[in-house]
Amino acid sequence: MIDALRARYSEPGRHYHSWAHIEALMRHYRRWEATFHRPVPVLWALYFHDAIYDPTEKDNEEQSAILMEREAKDHLPADDIAFAATIVRATAAHKVPDGMSQDAAADTALFLDLDLSILGAPTHIYDRYETDIRKEYAFVPEEAFRAGRGAILKGFLARERLYLTDIAHSEWDALARENMKRAVAALEAAA
């Protein structure tokens, strides 16, 4: 199964949403694994959350969740599959769904924070991320990309908190804001 996932994450056109992204998230997951209440379904969500990725489509998260449900059926109990799929689906809006138990909400929040860890990465890694995102959206004309990407980054910057959990907030928020401000300035300067 891992080989099949690696193949998916190696599809043409993937520059950021590649296996390297999964490996980066795994490093954070391992650091904070003891924090998760249900680490096994979180791990499955980590591996599958971008398994289906086509930047021209709007249902990547849903399709990734469906794939994970299918692949996990012989490996996990039904409630773990359902929880992992919920986490994958939550990456669409990067919000914790309503109605979750306190433990499930905490696990989902930390997973979502891990998925946004790139925003608070060291400058050279973040800059590579911006380059890789542009490559993934190469089909979008430059002016439209600058406007859209700028709006996304400004939306993040307008949030009172970028990260949902205290540990991720203290670890990444300050550098994430510096990185995104610099990216917005570069987009505006190129206009």
* Domain residue ranges in the chain: 2-101, 119-190
What is the predicted pLDDT for the residue at 117?
A: 98
What is the predicted pLDDT for the residue at 1?
A: 82
| 175 contacts: CB under 8 Å, gap ≥ 6 | 120, 121, 122, 123
Distances in whole angstroms, Cα of residue 154 to Cα of each of 143, 147, 159: 16, 10, 9
Four-point Cα dihedral 115, 116, 117, 119, nearest 10: 150
Amino acid, single-letter form, for residue 84: A
Distance CA 118, CA 37 (A): 24
DSSP at 111 = H
pLDDT values of the chain reduced to their tens digit, one per residue, 191 residues: 888 999 999 999 999 999 999 999 999 999 999 999 999 999 999 999 999 999 999 999 999 999 999 999 999 999 999 999 999 999 999 999 999 999 999 999 999 999 999 999 999 999 999 999 999 999 999 999 999 999 999 999 999 999 999 999 999 999 999 999 999 999 999 87
